[in-house]
A and B are shown apart, each in its own frame.
Chain A
Amino acid sequence: MNALREQFISEARELVLQATDDLIAIERTGFDAERLDRVFRAFHTLKGSAGVVELPAMSFVLHAAEDLLAEVNARRQPITTSLVNEALLSLDQISKWIDDFEASGALPSDAGDTARKSTERLRALLNEASAKPVESGQDSGGTPSWASRLAAEIFQLPAKSDHNHLAIEYEPLSDCFFNGDDPLRLLQSVPNLLAVSVEPRKEWQRLGELDPFVCNLRIHAIAKTTRSEVAQIFRFVPDQIRVFELPADAATVRQVDRENESLALLENILARQIGLIQAGLQEGDFYGRLGSATRVATNALRHYGRAEMSGSVESAMEAAMAQKDASLLLASLQAITKQLLAPPSEALSENKDGSATRRSLRVDEARIDAIFNLSGEMIVARNGLMHLARRMEQAAHDSDLIRDIRASNESFGRLVSDMHSAILQLRMVPVDQLFRSFPRLVRDISQRLGKNVELIARGGTTECDKNVVDRLFEPLLHLVRNALDHGVESPEARRAAGKPEIATVTLAATRSGDRLVIEITDDGRGIDPEAMRRKAREGGASAAEEIDQLSDEEAIHLIFRPGFSTASKVSDISGRGVGMDVVRNTVEQVGGRIALASRFGTGTTVRLDLPISVAMSQIMVVDAGGQSFGLPMDAVGETVRLSPDRVATIKDNKGFVLRDRIVPICSLAELMGLQLPPAKSREGRAHLLVVVEVAGRVAALEVDAIRDRLDAVLKPMQGVLSNARGYSGTTVTSDGRVLLVLDLKEILP
């Protein structure tokens, strides 16, 4: 795929997401000029880029959506749910096409039809509000979108005028040249012409097929004149023109555009003065470089009515001159730019800023993964070196040499692990990537459920390893769905309970040490412990008396049992059955923990505590039943060599006393279903035990031998083994063998 396409795809996806967010925000807040403008520009840019990569169907849909938005922007079209729905649907279509385009380099063959249908739907909305059929020379009532756009293009509209501004649409007949019409000459004779734009009515044919004698033009113009004058000029072609009066508010719409544009230009000018200074001094141009930058900056600030800021630039310039230090001026310009950019603070805009101000490099994920894997291999190689060094220690006696090799091996090891953690940093992505699809999902789901929900996302800039973030989407989606479906009550129920009708669901990410904490909170009805108990009894999963003894908190946690669901009716939103146990499993697979707190009547918080990165794991290698296994070191408490007489047998179970505590002994070989060595050979021999602690349980694993400890990056189980339970991954040992690392939680009885 070429660079242009790649650029288009990533940019287009970004724009779709941004427009989605803004549309949802607008639907909630109502008319918001800044947001609308951003949505409009997103559609506009998308349309343009789709044209560049030659996807006419995409441009077609975007064009219709853009027209609709222009109407909204001009306040002639109210913001309704159906309008936002249509706009979102068109964005859905665009994203689907972007996927298709990425996969196959083209749009599906039915794209044209789809585009026509989408366009019709969008145009239908447009027609509801404005654009009634117009007779020639008659006022249409509303201003067409092209007219407001054209008005915005005019550099300067006369401040006071006796005449109205008229917008003229002129579509010369396709055979007009043969009738002796000269469209451009006619247009030129319109007095006080302020703006003209010309576009093709139908898409241009290829140059070879183009018939130059057929007129395919649609001409738009704005003029300060009267209707009678226009009627006089176009008296031979009255059927081909439409005239609209530009309302007074066309000027205010333009004003908003103008202000945004001005701010952008001012920022741009300042940025380039900063660039000019940063480019470094050339011999002898210190004064000229800094002085001209200062002049331009103060000029631009003054021109845009920010004269009050220019004083600080001038004094910074004086200081910079006096101390021959360009950085003083630089700092002042940067501070001013920051001041200009100072964003209106809002919960959701938080993430925007982080991504906008940071300079970043786009790198293919696969490349980073490749480096990551290489660094993992390096760790293995380093472990191999360590192994060799140890063998040398046993074989040779040149202690100086051995000491040197050890020292060098150690510094090598340090470098390798430093590099590994640097690469882990590369894989950090903001949690926002995960959060940003939720506003849309919450909107759609709550609409379907007939509930009114506001989603607040916080801490989107918190970073976390891509692998963790990627795998969290499903569980998070599940939790949010649960919150919306089971947690949040219907508006009536909320009113009855004295709660605000609009429910709040919060997604909050925070960093706590090397952990990422994501909390999903709703202010819904909470979990009823009594209902949980009832459900558990019905389900017969546990004995009734056991259930009765559960504390409320324990009862709430029944929700994590496989197959447990309290939903009284099956819904298509969160379904039934596959539930929280799946969520918990996924979270635990990435090394996380899940916790739940709920107060009946007040709401529920689910807390995910996740590792920020998939750091190296420390592994202890043990032998059992003639095979080697890896045990995660963080589960290993200690190793114990136990004489046979200290082993106590209780019924069929063996155990021993470790510091006043009875620890059950399990044979690892037995747990793994491997053959035990004949009983005789083991008799009288000391037991070799690894005491492990998993999820609050302590057990001693009996093994045949304890070998090295390694630093390893676990690779997930692949291929036929990917579904094998009991293993958390594999790694390669120093002598090149593949080592299975055990998931102790799974294998302990």
Chain B
Amino acid sequence: MMPTEQSGTAAKARVLVVDDSSLVRLYYLNALKNAGFEAEQAINGIEAIEKVLAGTYDLVIVDVNMPGMDGLSFIRDIRRRSESVATIPTLIITTEAGEQDVADARSAGANYYLVKPVSERDLIRHVAALAGAPP
């Protein structure tokens, strides 16, 4: 199923998708753009940090497992930076939601987690709420 005809809104929320798999990034980017979000991508935590330092984002969607710098380290890192970067809402995508995984995500400072596979509908619902898209 696919969403259609996003009603035009004044300020589009900007979302950064961080995942090492190009297929996954494509899936998220398509879904986000179809739903009317502005979306950009990064292939790991290091590149993501460069991006968030350079631009402003309303939400970062980040995968747990990535080579280079993983999702949790990325979140831990940005939470200690200057105000506008430290407070960026983060959505972490995990493969598992065991107690430890959830505790790890919390302790790193993730605002929300979703467990794979994430359907398009679920993704958009959550992104819209977390990034504060207009009602």
How would residues 248 to 285 of chain A score, 1 for a CB under 8 Å from any chain B CB and 0 otherwise?
A: 00000000000001000110010011011001101011
**A288-B87, A296-B111, A300-B129 given; 11 more Cβ-contact pairs under 8 Å:** A153-B1, A155-B3, A265-B129, A276-B109, A288-B80, A288-B81, A291-B86, A292-B88, A295-B87, A303-B135, A304-B129
List, sorted by A's number, 9 A–B pairs whose CB atoms are closer than 8 Å.
A153-B1, A156-B4, A158-B5, A292-B111, A296-B89, A296-B111, A299-B131, A302-B135, A303-B128
Contact of B121 (CB < 8 Å), options: A153, A266, A272, A292:
A153
How would residues 91 to 106 of chain A score, 1 for a CB under 8 Å from any chain B CB and 0 otherwise?
A: 0000000000000000
Give residues 153-188 of A contacting B (CB, 8 Å).
153-156, 158-159
Given known A-B contacts A194-B1, A272-B111, A288 and B129 have beta carbons under 8 A apart:
no
- Complex CA gap A272/B3 in Å reads 27
| B28 nearest CB across to chain A (Å) | 15
Is B49 part of the binding interface, using a Cβ–Cβ cutoff of 8 Å? no
Given known A-B contacts A153-B121, A300-B132, A305-B135, A291 and B5 have beta carbons under 8 A apart:
no
Number of A-B residue pairs, CB cutoff 8 Å, is 113
How would residues 29 to 47 of chain B score, 1 for a CB under 8 Å from any chain A CB and 0 otherwise?
A: 0000001000000000000
Whether the pair B130, A269 counts as a contact (CB closer than 8 A) is: yes
Which A-chain residue is minimally distant from B13 (CB atoms)?
A299
User: Nearest 8 A-B pairs (CB), nearest first?
Assistant: A299-B132, A288-B79, A291-B87, A288-B86, A279-B106, A285-B79, A195-B1, A155-B3
Is B69 part of the binding interface, using a Cβ–Cβ cutoff of 8 Å? no
Give residues 296-315 of A contacting B (CB, 8 Å).
296, 298-300, 302-305
Contacting residues, chain B, for A282 (C-beta < 8 A): 76, 79, 107, 109
How would residues 515 to 544 of chain A score, 1 for a CB under 8 Å from any chain B CB and 0 otherwise?
A: 000000000000000000000000000000
Whether the pair A266, B129 counts as a contact (CB closer than 8 A) is: yes
Is B103 part of the binding interface, using a Cβ–Cβ cutoff of 8 Å? yes
Contact of A156 (CB < 8 Å), options: B3, B78, B103:
B3
Contacting residues, chain A, for B76 (C-beta < 8 A): 282, 285
How would residues 535 to 567 of chain A score, 1 for a CB under 8 Å from any chain B CB and 0 otherwise?
A: 000000000000000000000000000000000
- Complex CA gap A457/B51 in Å reads 60
Contacting residues, chain B, for A292 (C-beta < 8 A): 79, 86-90, 109, 111
Which A-chain residue is minimally distant from B86 (CB atoms)?
A288
| A291 nearest CB across to chain B (Å) | 3
Is A293 part of the binding interface, using a Cβ–Cβ cutoff of 8 Å? yes
Whether the pair B111, A298 counts as a contact (CB closer than 8 A) is: no
Is B93 part of the binding interface, using a Cβ–Cβ cutoff of 8 Å? no
Contacting residues, chain A, for B112 (C-beta < 8 A): 269, 272, 296
Contact of B132 (CB < 8 Å), options: A153, A159, A284, A303:
A303
Is B110 part of the binding interface, using a Cβ–Cβ cutoff of 8 Å? yes
Contact of A279 (CB < 8 Å), options: B87, B90, B107:
B107
Which B-chain residue is minimally distant from A221 (CB atoms)?
B1
| A334 nearest CB across to chain B (Å) | 16
Whether the pair B111, A293 counts as a contact (CB closer than 8 A) is: yes
How would residues 210 to 242 of chain A score, 1 for a CB under 8 Å from any chain B CB and 0 otherwise?
A: 000000000000000000000000000000000
Given known A-B contacts A295-B87, A295-B89, A303-B135, A280 and B107 have beta carbons under 8 A apart:
yes
Contact of A285 (CB < 8 Å), options: B109, B121, B128:
B109
Is B124 part of the binding interface, using a Cβ–Cβ cutoff of 8 Å? yes
- Complex CA gap A194/B112 in Å reads 29
Whether the pair A276, B106 counts as a contact (CB closer than 8 A) is: yes
Query: Interface size class for chain B?
Result: 35 or more
Is B126 part of the binding interface, using a Cβ–Cβ cutoff of 8 Å? yes
- Complex CA gap A156/B7 in Å reads 10
Which B-chain residue is minimally distant from A156 (CB atoms)?
B3
Is B134 part of the binding interface, using a Cβ–Cβ cutoff of 8 Å? yes
- Complex CA gap A155/B90 in Å reads 23
Contacting residues, chain B, for A295 (C-beta < 8 A): 87-89, 132
- Complex CA gap A294/B125 in Å reads 19
- Most chain B CB neighbours (cut-off 10 Å) among A280, A288, A305: A288
Give residues 67-107 of B contacting A (CB, 8 Å).
76, 78-81, 83, 86-90, 103, 106-107
Contacting residues, chain B, for A204 (C-beta < 8 A): none
Is A640 part of the binding interface, using a Cβ–Cβ cutoff of 8 Å? no
Whether the pair B133, A287 counts as a contact (CB closer than 8 A) is: no
Which B-chain residue is minimally distant from A272 (CB atoms)?
B112
- Complex CA gap A301/B30 in Å reads 26
Contacting residues, chain A, for B125 (C-beta < 8 A): 155, 261, 265
Whether the pair B87, A287 counts as a contact (CB closer than 8 A) is: yes
| A283 nearest CB across to chain B (Å) | 8
Whether the pair B78, A288 counts as a contact (CB closer than 8 A) is: yes
- Most chain B CB neighbours (cut-off 10 Å) among A266, A284, A285: A285
| B20 nearest CB across to chain A (Å) | 23
Is A423 part of the binding interface, using a Cβ–Cβ cutoff of 8 Å? no
- Complex CA gap A285/B109 in Å reads 8
| B37 nearest CB across to chain A (Å) | 13
| B66 nearest CB across to chain A (Å) | 20
Is A63 part of the binding interface, using a Cβ–Cβ cutoff of 8 Å? no
| B74 nearest CB across to chain A (Å) | 12
Contacting residues, chain A, for B131 (C-beta < 8 A): 299
Contacting residues, chain B, for A156 (C-beta < 8 A): 3-6
| A128 nearest CB across to chain B (Å) | 32
Whether the pair A269, B129 counts as a contact (CB closer than 8 A) is: yes
Contacting residues, chain A, for B3 (C-beta < 8 A): 155-156
| B102 nearest CB across to chain A (Å) | 8
Is A633 part of the binding interface, using a Cβ–Cβ cutoff of 8 Å? no
Is A196 part of the binding interface, using a Cβ–Cβ cutoff of 8 Å? yes
Contacting residues, chain B, for A285 (C-beta < 8 A): 76, 79-80, 86, 109
Contacting residues, chain A, for B111 (C-beta < 8 A): 269, 272-273, 276, 292-293, 296
Which B-chain residue is minimally distant from A305 (CB atoms)?
B135
Is A440 part of the binding interface, using a Cβ–Cβ cutoff of 8 Å? no
Contact of A287 (CB < 8 Å), options: B4, B5, B83:
B83
| B52 nearest CB across to chain A (Å) | 12
Whether the pair B109, A294 counts as a contact (CB closer than 8 A) is: no
| B15 nearest CB across to chain A (Å) | 12
Is A289 part of the binding interface, using a Cβ–Cβ cutoff of 8 Å? yes
Given known A-B contacts A269-B112, A292-B79, A296-B111, A159 and B86 have beta carbons under 8 A apart:
no
Given known A-B contacts A279-B103, A279-B107, A300 and B5 have beta carbons under 8 A apart:
no
Which A-chain residue is minimally distant from B1 (CB atoms)?
A195
Contacting residues, chain A, for B78 (C-beta < 8 A): 288
| A370 nearest CB across to chain B (Å) | 27
- Complex CA gap A158/B3 in Å reads 9
Given known A-B contacts A282-B107, A285-B80, A196 and B129 have beta carbons under 8 A apart:
no
Contacting residues, chain B, for A196 (C-beta < 8 A): 1
- Complex CA gap A6/B4 in Å reads 44
Contacting residues, chain B, for A298 (C-beta < 8 A): 132
Whether the pair B79, A289 counts as a contact (CB closer than 8 A) is: yes
Contacting residues, chain A, for B2 (C-beta < 8 A): 194
- Complex CA gap A567/B128 in Å reads 66
Contacting residues, chain B, for A302 (C-beta < 8 A): 132, 134-135
Whether the pair B103, A155 counts as a contact (CB closer than 8 A) is: no
Whether the pair B1, A154 counts as a contact (CB closer than 8 A) is: yes
- Complex CA gap A302/B135 in Å reads 7
Given known A-B contacts A288-B109, A299-B130, A302-B135, A155 and B87 have beta carbons under 8 A apart:
no
- Complex CA gap A153/B124 in Å reads 13
| A333 nearest CB across to chain B (Å) | 12
Which A-chain residue is minimally distant from B110 (CB atoms)?
A276
Contacting residues, chain A, for B121 (C-beta < 8 A): 153, 155
- Complex CA gap A295/B86 in Å reads 11
Contacting residues, chain A, for B132 (C-beta < 8 A): 295, 298-300, 302-303
